[in-house]
C-alpha cells in the first residue's frame, strides 16, 4: 500500500492560486492526469491543478523532468506512464508536487508558459484502452436488480464468492461530454410465442460507476496475487455505463449484457492516481455475519484493512427543458464507494487469476455503486424500481421521478444530461475531487 508523504501534507499550497481554493477538486495534493488538445488535434498529457492544466510535454521539453520521465510525458496517451513501476510513479508525483508548490525557487515564469485554462482545452480518452471489463460489485445493486427480475431468488449463489463481471467494449468508451445516441435494438415479444420487435430503446438508463486503470500488467499464463494487486493499480475515474434495459432484458441470458451496453460508456477525463488516494483508503466492506469468507486467493490482511476507497459519489440530471429555463441540474442520488462488496484489488486479482494477461491502460469498472438506502441508488432502474408504481421502498413519491419543470421520468428522455461527480474528504487531509463525467442523450438515428 502506498505510504503518506510530503505530497499529501494538507498545508501544502501551490503557486497556481486557484488550486488553493478549498472547494477546488484539484489542489496540489491531487495532481490527476488527463489527455487534452487545444483544437489542433495535437494531444498532450497534462496534470490538473486548480482550474488549470499543466502540459507535461512542455515540462519535459524544458528539461524540468528526469530523463526516465521524458518519453512517457511526451506521449499523447497515458499508457507508457501507466507502465512505469510503482516507485517511479511515486517519484514523478513527488517531482511534480515540488515543481507546483508555492516556493521562491520554483521557476514560475518558465512553468507558467505550460499552463492552460481547463475551460480552453478539449479532453480525450486518457489512454489507449485495449480491454474494458465491467463488474457488479455492489451487493445492494445486485440485490435490487435481482429482486425486480427474480423476486424469489434475487442473489445468485456465486455472488458472494466471485466478483461477477462481463467483457465490455473498449472501442465505444468515450470521453465526458460526448453525445450518447439512443440505441436501436431487439426487444422481447410482447406476448409469449410472438416475434421480437426492433425499435429505439425506451428504457434507457445510466449506471453510476467508478473505473480503475491497470498500471503494469502480467504475462499471459501468470497471475497477480492479492498482496501484489495494489502495485498494478494506476488510478481511478468516474464511469457511466449507459444501459438499454429493454434490450438487456431480451438478450442477457445466457451470456450476459451485449448490445444493451456496448453503444457507449462515458469516462471522466481525470485519472486520480492511487498515490493521491492513499489518505482515503478504508476497510473492505463489512460482510454480515453468516456471509462466506472469500477463497484464500482473494483475501489478505492488507486488503481487509485498507482495500476500500472512500469516494463519495453524486448523480444529477438536467433535462433540455430545465436547461432552457435556466434551472440547475436536479440531484438524484449520493452514495459511497465503501458500499462495494468487492475491493478493486480483489477484482484485479480475480480477473488475472486464470492466467488472463492484463495490460497497462486496461479499464475495469466497478459496477453500479448503490448503497442500502433509496437515495443511494446508482441507476434509474433502481430509483424508479423499473418504472413500477409499486416501488416497495418507503418514500415512493419519486416513482416516477418528478423534475422541477413538472416533467416525469421513469427512464432517460432525449436531451437529458447526466452528470456524475466524485470526491474524497476526511478531517485529516485535503479534499480531492474527480471532476465530472457528463453525457447527453441524443435521439436514435433511424
Catalytic residue numbers read 141
Should residue 284 be labelled a site residue for Mn ion when binding is judged by CB under 5 A?
no
| Position 241 contacts Mn ion (CB under 5 A) | yes
What distance in Å separates the CA atoms of residue 87 and residue 2, rounded to the nearest whole number? 9
The nearest distance, CB 366 to Mn ion, in angstroms, is 8
Helix axis angle, 86-100 to 67-74, nearest 10°: 90
Q: Identify how many contiguous H helices and E strands the chain contains and give both numbers.
A: 12, 26
| 205 sits near Mn ion (criterion: CB under 5 A) | no
Which of residues 241 and 251 has its CB atom nearest to Mn ion in the complex? Answer: 241
Q: Is 275 exposed, middle or buried (0-12, 13-18, 19+ CB in 10 A)?
A: buried
Binding test (CB under 5 A) with Mn ion, winner from 13, 80, 131, 134: 134
Provide, rounded to whole angstroms, the least separation between the CB of residue 266 and Mn ion. 12
User: How many C-beta atoms lie closer than 10 Å to residue 155's C-beta?
Assistant: 14
Nearer to Mn ion, 100 or 311 (CB): 311
Least Å from the CB of residue 368 to Mn ion: 6
- Report how far residue 240's alpha carbon sits from residue 161's, in angstroms, rounded to the nearest whole number: 26
d(CA 390, CA 410): 13
Stretch near Mn ion under the rule CB under 5 A, chosen from 131-139, 174-182, 312-320, 412-420: 131-139
Between the alpha carbon of residue 250 and those of residues 177, 196, 205, the distances in Å are 29, 9, 16
Nearer to Mn ion, 19 or 142 (CB): 142
Instruction: Please say whether the beta carbons of 49 and 19 come within 8 A.
Output: yes
Count of positions on this chain that bind Mn ion (CB under 5 A): 3
Residue 207 engages Mn ion in binding (rule: CB under 5 A): yes
Residue 334 Cβ vs Mn ion, minimum distance, rounded to whole Å: 19
* Residue whose CB is less far from Mn ion, 72 or 185: 185
Site residues for Mn ion, window 35-94 (CB under 5 A)? Answer: none
Is residue 13 within the footprint of Mn ion (CB under 5 A)?
Answer: no
Distances (CA, A) of 301 to 284, 305, 389, 433: 10, 6, 45, 28
Does residue 246 touch Mn ion according to CB under 5 A?
A: no
> Of the two residues 114 and 183, which places its CB atom closer to Mn ion in the complex?
183
Which spans of this chain sit near Mn ion (rule: CB under 5 A)? 134, 207, 241
Amino acid at each position: 500500500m502506498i505510504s503518506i508523504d510530503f505530497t499529501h501534507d494538507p498545508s501544502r499550497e501551490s503557486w497556481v492560486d486557484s488550486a488553493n481554493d478549498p472547494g477546488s477538486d484539484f489542489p496540489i495534493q491531487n495532481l490527476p492526469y488527463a489527455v487534452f488538445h487545444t483544437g489542433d488535434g495535437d494531444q498532450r498529457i497534462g496534470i490538473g491543478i486548480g482550474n488549470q492544466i499543466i502540459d507535461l510535454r512542455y515540462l519535459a521539453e524544458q528539461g524540468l523532468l528526469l530523463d526516465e520521465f521524458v518519453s512517457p510525458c511526451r506521449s499523447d496517451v497515458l499508457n507508457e506512464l501507466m507502465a512505469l513501476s510503482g516507485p517511479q510513479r511515486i517519484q514523478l508525483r513527488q517531482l511534480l508536487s515540488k515543481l507546483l508548490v508555492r516556493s521562491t525557487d520554483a521557476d514560475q515564469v518558465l512553468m507558467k508558459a505550460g499552463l492552460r485554462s481547463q475551460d480552453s482545452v478539449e479532453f480525450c480518452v486518457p489512454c489507449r484502452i485495449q480491454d474494458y471489463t465491467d463488474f457488479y460489485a455492489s451487493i445492494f445493486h445486485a440485490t435490487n436488480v435481482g429482486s425486480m427480475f427474480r423476486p424469489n431468488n434475487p442473489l445468485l449463489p456465486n455472488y458472494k464468492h466471485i466478483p461477477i463481471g462481463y467483457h465490455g467494449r473498449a472501442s465505444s468508451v468515450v470521453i465526458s461530454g460526448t453525445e450518447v445516441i439512443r440505441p436501436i435494438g431487439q426487444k422481447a415479444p410482447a406476448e409469449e410465442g410472438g416475434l421480437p420487435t426492433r425499435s429505439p430503446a425506451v428504457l434507457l438508463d445510466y449506471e453510476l460507476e467508478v473505473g480503475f486503470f491497470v498500471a503494469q500488467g502480467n504475462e499471459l499464463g501468470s497471475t497477480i496475487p492479492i498482496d501484489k494487486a495494489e502495485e498494478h493499480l494506476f488510478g481511478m475515474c468516474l464511469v457511466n455505463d449507459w444501459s438499454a434495459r429493454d434490450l438487456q432484458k431480451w438478450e442477457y441470458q445466457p451470456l450476459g449484457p451485449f448490445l444493451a451496453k456496448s453503444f457507449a460508456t462515458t469516462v471522466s477525463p481525470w485519472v486520480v492516481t492511487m498515490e493521491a488516494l492513499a489518505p482515503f483508503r478504508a476497510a473492505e466492506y463489512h460482510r454480515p455475519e453468516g456471509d462466506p469468507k472469500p477463497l484464500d486467493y482473494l483475501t489478505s490482511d492488507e486488503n481487509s484493512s485498507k482495500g476500500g476507497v472512500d469516494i463519495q459519489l453524486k448523480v444529477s440530471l438536467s433535462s433540455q427543458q430545465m436547461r432552457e429555463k435556466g434551472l440547475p441540474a436536479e440531484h438524484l442520488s449520493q452514495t459511497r464507494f465503501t458500499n462495494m462488496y468487492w475491493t478493486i484489488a480483489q477484482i484485479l486479482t480475480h480477473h488475472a487469476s486464470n492466467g488472463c494477461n492484463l495490460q497497462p491502460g486496461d479499464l475495469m469498472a466497478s459496477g453500479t455503486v448503490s448503497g442500502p438506502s433509496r437515495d443511494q441508488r446508482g441507476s434509474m432502474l433502481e430509483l424508479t424500481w423499473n418504472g413500477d408504481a409499486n416501488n416497495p421502498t418507503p418514500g415512493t413519491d419519486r416513482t416516477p421521478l418528478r423534475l422541477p419543470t413538472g416533467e416525469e421520468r421513469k427512464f432517460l428522455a432525449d436531451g437529458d444530461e447526466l452528470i456524475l461527480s466524485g470526491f474524497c474528504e476526511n478531517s485529516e487531509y485535503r479534499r480531492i475531487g474527480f471532476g465530472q463525467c457528463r453525457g447527453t442523450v441524443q435521439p436514435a438515428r433511424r
